[in-house]
Structure 1
Amino acid sequence: MRILFIPGNSPSPIFSHASLAHAARSCGHEVIVGGIEWVLPDIAAIGLPAVKIADVTEADAAEFMGSAPPDPAEQAAAVGRIYSQIALQSQEPLLRMAERWRPDLIVGGSMFYAAPLLAHRLGVPAVRLEWDRVDAAMYAPGAREVLAPALAERGLDALPDPALWIDICPPGLREPGQDRGRRPMRWLPVNPQRTLEPWMYGKGDRPRVYITAGARLFGGEPLSHMARAVADLGVEVVIGAPERVAADLRAELPGIDIGWVPLDVLAPTCDLILHHGGGVTDMTALHFGVPQLIVNQDISGDAMGRLADYGAAMMLEPGRHGAADIAKACGRMLGDPRFRERAGTLAAEMAALPSPVEVVGLLEGLAGG
């Protein structure tokens, strides 16, 4: 069976889809992952075959993020529009690829635009695989603006429903009715790797706080702010950052380990993960049962709020992101074992879900392979 994955337009969905893609390859199936120009190195870095579907570069992504509206609803609509534009741009390259390598099945990310369009043209099943816990319905208003004319040309009123919808949210964080029509899958972390140093897989006597603002970060100020906020708490700080911002941060924050660290290795050694509400960071923390402090969340606010309500995280309110606010919240979380206990309950729930290998069996049933 040939499976084409089209996860999304940033590194995070690439990493999140990787466990199912690898599982399919391990079961003997052929896999190709489609991505915009920016993410092709990330696909290759996790050992998957990559094909370019659109000429969208890292600079293009940075420009879009820099101009995104601050209001969460407007920002979500803008993301829906740009993802839909890329989905339409990608159709011809994908069709040309299919002339040489025709997929039996197409797996798309939560902004489910490119995959069902292509699957409809090719007459093959499409699968929707969530890559984080954020409700992608918020992107729909912007997406409809762009997709409506193209769908009408194809005789469609809306995007075709997926033949299979796979959800990775732990049961304790699902909204009522969220699992209706969906099949669960155990989410597993996959990261680009590097040669490990001993401190990455073992820690000293101090509590370890990992700070990140995600793979789409193009400036170091948020990380510097968070690191300085916890400097007087007597903790060990590790900062995860793309190299494009890490060099300046090392000069600014001597004595702190800064750079790309495989989070699947580091997370089990962490006592707290301080971040922006990023999907893969959140899912990795959940997988390992690590409490989270969420700062500067935007469109992920609802999903992170459910985690805080569950008791496995704290989420600072807008306007309460100052150094004193961050330090107070970190101190509280590190001193209260109930956060770790609740996070551990969610990790156990995730571990009980069907593995990616089991889900490959569902894919085989769809494609008759």
Structure 2
Amino acid sequence: MKVLFVPGNSPYPIFSHAPLATAVRNAGHQVLMGGIEWVLPRIASVGLPPVKISPLSIEEVSAFVGSMPEDPVEQAKAVGGVYAEIAINSLEPLLELSEHWRPDIVVGGGMFYCAPLLAHHLGVPSVRLEWDRIDARMYDPGAIEVLQPLLAELNLAQVPAPDLWLGVCPPSLLPPDAVPAQPMRWIPANPQQPLEQWMYAKGDRPRVYLTAGTRLFSGDALLEMIRNLSGLNVEIVVGAPEQIAEELRADLPGVRIGWVPLDILAPTCDIIIHHGGGGTDMTALNAGVPQLIANPEYPTAATQQVVDYGAALTLTSDEQRPENIVAACNDLLSNPGYGERARELSREIAALPAPAEIVPVMEKLAG
């Protein structure tokens, strides 16, 4: 069986699809993973064979991110539109690839519309594997608007539905209108590095991990927040690219700053602070760690669901002041209920079918 994975146009979708792609290959099947040029090294970093499927550049992606509307509805429409453009640009290279390496199944991410369109062209089954808990259907209206001429050429009223829909959300966080999907256990995957003992060993103080994304904290605000957090007598780990880490280390002696494999670090943490990205959220849930979601990047119900369940707290952009963050961390550390609820969700994830158990389902679909 030949399986083509086309997860998405950024590193995180690559990592979210890597466990299933690896399971398919470990079962003896052939696997290729497609992406735009700038994610190809990321595909290779998780041991999968990368193939370029679109002329889109990182500069074009950055320009889109920089011009994203603030209004949530318009933002979703814009995101759907750009993924539709990627689908249109990718279809010809994918068809050319298929002339030489014809897949028996095409697996795509929730917003990667080129996967079902390619499968329709080839007359083979398609699989939709969600990246995380975020309901990607909210991006469909913007995509359909852009895809309409192509759909008309193909005599399609809409993007073809997948033959197999794989969901990774723990059951307790499924929304009432969730699409019926085959559940699959979400497993973290990311690039690795030589480990130091502190990365996998818990210390004698609570550990707080903070992602230093540009939409979360930067500059003086980040320095002030870390200094305030230090008053809680916690160990602080800041995940940041090396160029940012270098600038911060001089001002923050004793704070571990830099890139760390989060799949290794997460189980040693007591709190994970981030901006609401799906990968960090799922890694925290998988490890059973309470979250503080500050200024959520995506205005979706997914953030509120984990807060309502009692495994996280959230702060809006107006509330994102160092004293509020410190107070929220103190609440998460002092109230054991947050940890208990987070561990409940971790157990739910662990009980879902592993990627290796999905491979026979795909074999039957292709067969």
Provide the residue aligned with 1:237 in structure 2.
236
| CA drift at 1:39 | 1.0
Once residues 245 and 218 of structure 1 are traced to their aligned partners in structure 2, the CA distance between those partners, rounded to angstroms, is 14
1:208 aligns with 2:215: no
SS in 1 for 2:33: strand
| CA drift at 1:138 | 1.5
Contact 1:16 1:190 survives alignment (8 Å)? yes
Provide the residue aligned with 1:102 in structure 2.
102
Contact 1:72 1:298 survives alignment (8 Å)? no
Deviations 1:7-32 (A, max 9, x none): 11111111111110110011011111
SS in 2 for 1:165: strand
- How many residues end up aligned between the 2 structures? 366
Provide the residue aligned with 1:259 in structure 2.
258
Query: After superposition, where does 1:57-136 map in structure 2 within 5 Å?
Result: 57-136=57-136
Provide the residue aligned with 2:312 in structure 1.
313
Query: After superposition, where does 1:22-33 map in structure 2 within 5 Å?
Result: 22-33=22-33
Deviations 1:303-362 (A, max 9, x none): 011000000000113411111111110111011110000001011111111110111111
Deviations 1:159-187 (A, max 9, x none): 0010000000000000124252x100011
| CA drift at 1:137 | 1.6
Greater mean alpha carbon deviation, residues 171-180 or residues 144-153: 171-180
Structure 1: 5+ residue stretches without partners: none
Contact 1:211 1:223 survives alignment (8 Å)? no
Once residues 219 and 58 of structure 1 are traced to their aligned partners in structure 2, the CA distance between those partners, rounded to angstroms, is 23
| CA drift at 1:59 | 2.9
Provide the residue aligned with 1:298 in structure 2.
297
Contact 2:216 2:295 survives alignment (8 Å)? no
Greater mean alpha carbon deviation, residues 30-39 or residues 65-74: 65-74
SS in 2 for 1:340: helix
Deviations 1:136-166 (A, max 9, x none): 1221121122111111111111000100000
1:17 aligns with 2:17: yes
Give, as a single letter, the amino acid of the residue that structure 2 aligns with 1:94.
Answer: L
Provide the residue aligned with 1:270 in structure 2.
269
Give, as a single letter, the amino acid of the residue that structure 1 aligns with 2:58.
Answer: E
Deviations 1:281-324 (A, max 9, x none): 11111111000000110325410110000000001134111111
Once residues 25 and 168 of structure 1 are traced to their aligned partners in structure 2, the CA distance between those partners, rounded to angstroms, is 20
Once residues 152 and 38 of structure 1 are traced to their aligned partners in structure 2, the CA distance between those partners, rounded to angstroms, is 31
CA RMSD between the two structures? 1.9
Once residues 326 and 249 of structure 2 are traced to their aligned partners in structure 1, the CA distance between those partners, rounded to angstroms, is 21
Provide the residue aligned with 1:42 in structure 2.
42
Once residues 359 and 333 of structure 1 are traced to their aligned partners in structure 2, the CA distance between those partners, rounded to angstroms, is 36
Once residues 327 and 219 of structure 1 are traced to their aligned partners in structure 2, the CA distance between those partners, rounded to angstroms, is 14
Give, as a single letter, the amino acid of the residue that structure 2 aligns with 1:295.
Answer: A
Relative to the length of structure 2, the TM-score reads 0.95
1:167 aligns with 2:167: yes
Structure 2: 5+ residue stretches without partners: none
